[in-house]
Structure 1
Amino acid sequence: MGGMTSTPTSPQPPRRLVLATRNPGKVTELHAILSEAGLPFELVGADAYPEIPDVKETGVTFAENALLKAHALAQATGLPAVADDSGLCVDVLNGAPGIFSARWAGTHGDDKANLDLLLAQLGDIADEHRAAHFFCAAALALPDGTERVVEGRLLGTLRHTPSGDGGFGYDPVLQPLGESRTCAELTPAEKNAISHRGQAFRALIPVVRELLG
């Protein structure tokens, strides 16, 4: 029986990282980026914690909103949490719609109404003054209050009419610099390679490594 004195240690389960979104597309996108980087985390969305209410985005910048969401989820779960906030910033509108991108026409998430209003506002604006960019702030928050924020931008110009069936939001009118197509005409892989969110999530990799090992 001498061989029974030591109990073999079971393998440690992967550490969990929570993404403050109920959008499965975002979870999939960040999971792919973390996997490419070889980070050993189990990634779950906020849907894994249905008892935790969504956080009101009361910040006045993308970074503030991302941090609000990340800290709330980290505190509620006791796990490191990642959140992002993103939107469209139009030069001639002094950066608007900005943090109000998802509710520019008054109702949160009404993509068509938001797009129609924006195009109407820019109806008389010539091509050379239609510069805009998608912006994303991504935040990592730990239960102890540690926080970091990184950014991503996709520069482009705004078309006069929507084009393409892919993507969502303002994708049908933003034509990335150097492209002849709108974001809504790119394949998902093409869009993820250059997108503001993809850039921000990739910029999180060294932060995750530094803070979580």
Structure 2
Amino acid sequence: ELALALNEVHQDIVYVDFIDTYQNLTVKTMMIMNWLATYCPSARYAMKVDADIFVNVPYLVRYLQNQGESSQKDFITGSVINDGCPRRNQRSKWYLSKEAYPESRFPPYVSGAGYVFSIDLAKKISWASRYVRPIPMEDVYVGLCLHFLDVQPVFSRTFLPYRNLFEIRHLEYDACTYAQRIIVTGFTPSQLLNIWTDFQKDRLAC
């Protein structure tokens, strides 16, 4: 009901006909890719981000500008996981049977907490999904589609000092710490509102 009310005001919510459950995240993500490819072909980038994520928009914009033209085609970046393996324990939230995925390792993929990609990849990933068998873990599935397309995800990080710019751990709020990250995870909606208000004031002093 709240979503319907907000959409009446802003008209910025896209409704798609499927059941929105954790097991359907892959379906949801592929529908997003198809929608982006259809309605946003003139955009340069798109970002997938979970609802509990702080996003440092100014840093993100500067980061993408610094990447130059190389980031405008076949580009996807975030927190890259290079050593992912399927969980075979049936009690695991991320259980994946050998029938669904017989390989012992996943190709590199970006954490689903948040990632950014050049808009051309939306159409390519959507196309690849016709040939890549679906699994319920959407971030891994995007990685499988990237592997099919022979596209390597880019790990957004700095080395001196080392920072994962797409931080998939929860960090206690500090404006100067957050000013050096693109995302940080693990917040309630009210926390995000409070943090963003403070961040807008304090980040420029860092």
* TM-score normalised by L of structure 1: 0.22
Bigger radius of gyration: 1
Q: Which has the higher contact order (CA 8 A, sep 6+)?
A: 2
* TM, length-normalised to structure 2: 0.23
